[in-house]
Structure 1
Amino acid sequence: MKILVTGGAGYIGSTVASALLDEGHTPVILDNLVTGLEAFTEGRVFYRGDIADGALLDRIFREHPDITAAVHCAALIVVPDSVAEPLRYYRENVAKTIALLEHLERNGCHRVLFSSSASVYEPGTDFTVDEDSPVAAGSPYAQTKAVIDRILADAAAGTELRAVSLRYFNPIGADPRMRTGLQLREPSHALGKMIAAWESGDVFRVTGTDWPTSDGSGIRDYIHVWDLARAHVAALARFDDIVGGDRPPHLVVNLGTGKGTTVRELAAAFGGVTGIPLRTEDAPSRPGDVAGAYTRTERSARLLGWKPEYDVRDGIRDSLAWRGRLLELLGPVED
């Protein structure tokens, strides 16, 4: 297969592209490099530009008429930023996705695999969710994902579009072959902050300690990014079997480990991997933060034939290994 991957120079998109290559497929990467890393495109078909650029999309399909599906990973993703700049997030994530879908439709590409987010859910009292759980997005970022899922469902109901929304939780780790990984020098998620504290000898701040979890810290479903990439490839392989025909034209599938890990438990696992206990201190929650959730995994196992192979410690280990590789790619900080 030849697959268009929007955001293919970012963390998720580049790792999906690696997994596609390993399965003998050809990713065609479209990325504006606002947050993506150009090094992730080396040796791959790459177009630099915006997903809303109709002329560029027409050129891509003219030069690659055998593209059979699009994996849409391009998005802004930082929750506190979305609270501070909601209009920017709605423009970049929602408005440009509508434009992208119009360009795909015009070029006869009717299969869309969307990298959505499990942050759209309202978790139950046990913090678990499944695909039928209520949608109650807790931040503008999460709202953009929920809105796009709704747009896909409506478009699929009224046009030839067929779409699968993969709602996943908190990716960690890197491509085990160290080709791609998190491309940010200063990531905002919990594991990235732990690595930064470990490197500098500082204290890691546990933001939010009064949630109704077992230890008061937020709970998350930390999924290894390589497992996540494998799930995207599995969804593409089974795409025509799970949507369309006598099945609904739009489908939601949750991707996760099925196990919740609190921030304090993640910190303890981090110390176990490094051999040095991580020093922590309590801090208030950030704008847009929620208690969190983890998923029940029956649908992904049944429909995709997929299950995760890596655990939290694997994700921490690969994140640490990737960190050294990333600093080589980015080079020294400029004064």
Structure 2
Amino acid sequence: MTAIVTGAAGFIGRALTSALLTAGELVIGVDRRPPPAHESPAGRPGLTWLTADVLDDDDRLSAAFAAAGAVYHLAGRPGVRERGPAAARARHRDNVLAGARVLALTPRAVPLLVASSSSVYGGATDGRPSAETDPLRPAGGYARSKAAFELLCRGRQVTIVRPFTVAGEGQRPDMALSLWLAAAREGRPLRVLGSPERTRDVTDVQQAARALIELTGFDGTVNLGTGRGRSLRAMIGAVAEATGTRVRLEIVPAPPAEPADSLADTRRLRSIIGWTPETDLLELVRRQHDAALVGSDHG
């Protein structure tokens, strides 16, 4: 089978591409960026790379989608904190219009999995895990763009995955663990939005990639998380231990789009794939720290 992965140069896209190749699949990576130099297709049998935007009028894209055995649409405009008209236009283009283009390019008989976001829930309610049947309460432009894309998927057989906080090697530099690890290494205070007692459902990127593969072909919406909340304080403690540093905190107000807590109801996930991701927080943060050091050498 040949699988297309859009956003293949991104955080989860890179992990998914590696997992598919390890499983013996052929992969066409699609991204506006070329692959990192140390992950060149020349050294990765089974990988073909298209440096392209899915909104391009590109015959290579049309041919690739027409021949695909499965499509994983992970490309999009990440980040919840950008504001202003320019950010709104970019989100609409990259999360809504690009998603619509992937829906149009993918033959209806081909399994299609798309990445939404746990942010569409607006956070856990009274400590209760967010379930796929809950009404959506997207707070902020990013969450609203993901909810809008989900609406476009109605009437189509598609797997809509709502990942919770995914972490591990290759995590985007603007996400909390990446920012905290960099600050700890450089001796700067760790900037914490709101209270350190806020919680996140932290999911290992390697297990997330495995789950995405096993969800291929499911028709409907499913959370991707562990079902266990981790406090920001626990995450900070793991950063301190992984880096061998004594950390200082800078507490600042959290913006309105930042939920106090997020927690996945994982019952549907387990019913489909037969297991639920589990995160060894310290091991995960150590891996992310070590990979960042290696990445700085490659850079």
SS at match of 2:149: helix
Q: Once the 2 structures are TM-superposed, how far is the Cα of residue 277 of structure 1 from its aligned partner?
A: 3.2
Give the aligned partner of residue 154 of structure 2: 153
Map of 2:265 onto structure 1: 296
Partner of 1:204: 190
AA paired with 1:16?
L
Measure how far apart 1:310 and its partner are: 3.3
3-state secondary structure, aligned to 1:20 = helix
Structure 1 residues 83 and 37 mapped into 2: Cα distance closer, same or farther (>3 Å)? farther
Change over 3 Å in CA distance of 1:100–1:222 after alignment to 2: same
Please state whether the residue corresponding to 1:80 is helix, strand or coil. Answer: coil
Contact in 2 for aligned 1:121/1:135 (Cα 8 Å): yes
Aligned to 1:47: 50
User: Could you tell me how far 1:280 is from its partner in structure 2?
Assistant: 0.9
TM-score, reference length from structure 2: 0.90
Give 1:21 shift.
1.2
TM-score, normalised with respect to structure 1? 0.81
**CA–CA distance in structure 2, aligned partners of residues 218 and 113 of structure 1:** 30
Provide the secondary structure at the position in 1 that maps to 2:50: strand
Cα distance in 2 for residues equivalent to 1:81 and 1:196: 21
Letter in 1 for 2:54: I
**SS in structure 2 at match of 1:52:** coil
Q: Residue 274 in 1 paired to residue 269 in 2?
A: no
Partner of 2:206: 226
Distance 1:206 1:9 in 2: 28
Deviates more, 1:291-300 or 1:53-62: 53-62
Q: Does the 8 Å contact 2:166/2:205 carry over to 1? A: yes
> Compared with structure 1, are the counterparts of its residues 173 and 92 closer, same or farther at alpha carbon in structure 2 (3 Å cutoff)?
same
- Which ranges in structure 1 are unaligned for 5 or more consecutive residues? 157-161, 175-180, 210-214, 244-250, 331-335
Q: CA deviation at 1:166?
A: 1.0
SS in structure 2 at match of 1:143 = helix
SS at match of 2:27: strand
* Percent of paired sites with the same residue: 28
- The answer to whether the 8 A contact 1:115-1:166 is kept is yes
Q: Secondary structure, in 3 states, of the residue corresponding to 2:257?
A: coil
Other-structure match for 1:188 = 174
SS of alignment partner, residue 129 of structure 1: coil
Give distance in 2, aligned partners of 1:291 and 1:310. Answer: 20
Report Cα offsets for 1:204-248 as digits up to 9, x if no partner. Answer: 011113xxxxx5x43211111001001011112xx2xx33xxxxx
Quote the RMSD (CA, aligned, Å): 2.0
Aligned residue pairs, count: 292
Report the alpha carbon displacement of residue 120 of structure 1 after superposing the two structures with TM.
0.6
CA distance in 1, matches of 2:110, 2:215: 15
Cα displacement string for residues 55-94 of structure 1 (whole angstroms, at most 9, x for unaligned residues): 33223246xx2x2111000011011125561121111210
Give the C-alpha shift of residue 299 in structure 1. 1.0
**Mapped contact 2:167–2:204 kept (Cα < 8 A):** yes
Amino acid at match of 2:232: V
Residue 68 of structure 1: aligned partner:
69
- Determine the C-alpha separation between the residues in 2 that align with 1:266 and 1:127: 21
CA deviation profile, 1:19-71 (whole Å, cap 9, x unmatched): 1111111111111118x646444332101101112433223246xx2x21110
- Once residues 306 and 8 of structure 1 are traced to their aligned partners in structure 2, the CA distance between those partners, rounded to angstroms, is 25
Q: Secondary structure at the match of 1:3?
A: strand
Unaligned runs of at least 5 residues, structure 2: none
The counterpart of 1:316, out of the listed 260, 263, 285, is 285
